[in-house]
Amino acid sequence: MADSVAKNKILVLGRPNVNKTQIIHSVVSQTPLSYTSEVKSGNDEVEEDSAKIEWTLHTRYYQAQLVFWADHTEQLPPRQLKHMQEWLADPDLHSSTDDMACDIPVDPDMAQLQEHLSEVVDAIIFVFDPTDPSSFMDILPWARFAKLHEPGVLLCVAATRDGKPVDTDDKDGWFDWCVVNGWEWLDLTDTDPDTEYTIERIREALESNEWDGMETVKKTNDTSSNLPDTDVTTTTSTHDDVATAEPLEQEQKGEWDGFDDVARTLDPDRVDAMHHALFSGENEHGDMATVLARLRSMRDEISQMDQSQARSRAAELAMAVAKKLP
């Protein structure tokens, strides 16, 4: 049973017409997202608008008792909607370290609720429907929460009810806003077979967080022993599914061959510029979520380049990060 006061809650937020509970089910069961199945509680379907699902997360190195809280969002009132439209047009609107996130307009009841949630929530998965651009605007109060309370995981997930691909120019604006404001962008409507926007990436993000109450898994001499089952509990029942132990990726032979030669040809000014792009605006606490989001964005750009250009750009990125090391 998860500790009710531990900071181990995962908010999954979005309008009723997105697959919040199906996404949770896929994350905990490590299965592809289904657009027909429902998460069940006993003989009844869990309501799409609201659900509580307990989960024992097992990794190779630790286990943690977590709780998903799924809830619905609603269309913003006019004043808040206008503010979010301005923020989307200018993603840097609240990027200044001197900016007060409290200036982001929310209802007093929401502000009070967020103060309580900040004590127990350490991850937010915001899900919206890209075929309904207004649904992205619902992120406003949770963007405020993120800036004030800095949860360890912030994911913005584009998903449709039927799983069909969505092609809209709005995605560029949503992506840029997420990168600037420290949210990781995940487009589950992307049909590219090599896309990194997957359910697996959501689970990876949750696994990489340092959860309250996490316990280290004791190593044994039997390296072939199975990991414990992954336990998933709704409000009335428990779902057990076996976590598959993925073998550690073998380092490819020759992966770093020629790196020194490439590094010696780099333009120091380009490396300095990339370093500034990565770490500009970093606050006194490190603002690691923003840096990681920018790193992922740069990595996505590199993946679209030809091999020669990609090697040079990757080397620049490695050197830019190295400049931050003590």
pLDDT in tens, 115-153: 999 999 999 999 999 999 999 999 999 999 999 999 999
44-45 and 153-158 beta bridge pairing: unpaired
The rounded distance, in Å, linking the Cα atoms of 192 and 283 is 35
Q: Taking residues 3-10, what's their average pLDDT? A: 87
Cα 244 to Cα 29, 40, 232, distances in angstroms: 10, 22, 15
Q: Is the pLDDT of residue 270 over 60?
A: yes
Top pLDDT among 40 and 9 is at: 9
Q: Is the pLDDT of residue 257 over 50?
A: yes
The 10 Å Cβ neighbour count of residue 286 is 11
Q: Taking residues 256-267, what's their average pLDDT? A: 66
Q: What is the DSSP letter of 303?
A: H
Look at 52-61, 116-125, 201-210, 303-312 and tell me which has the smallest mean pLDDT.
303-312
Instruction: Say what percent of the chain tops pLDDT 70.
Output: 74
pLDDT number for residue 261? 67
Q: What is the DSSP letter of 91?
A: G
Burial of 119 (0-12, 13-18, 19+ CB in 10 A): exposed
Task: Tell me which amino acid residue 133 is.
Answer: P
Task: Output the pTM of the full model.
Answer: 0.68
User: What's the length of the chain?
Assistant: 326
Q: What residues pair up with 140 in beta bridges, in sequence order?
A: none
pLDDT interval class at 47 (50, 70, 90): very low
62-72 and 9-14 beta bridge pairing: parallel
pLDDT number for residue 30? 86
The rounded distance, in Å, linking the Cα atoms of 156 and 169 is 17
Q: Which residue in the block uniquely carries the two structure tokens 């915001």?
A: 126
The rounded distance, in Å, linking the Cα atoms of 119 and 306 is 46
pLDDT number for residue 164? 84
CB 48, CB 21: distance < 8 Å: yes
Q: Is the pLDDT of residue 98 over 80?
A: no
Over the stretch 62-92, which tens digit does the pLDDT of each residue have? Answer: 999 999 999 999 999 999 999 999 999 999 9
184-187 and 9-14 beta bridge pairing: unpaired
The rounded distance, in Å, linking the Cα atoms of 107 and 203 is 32
Q: Which of 94, 274, 255, 120 is nearest to 183 (CA)?
A: 94
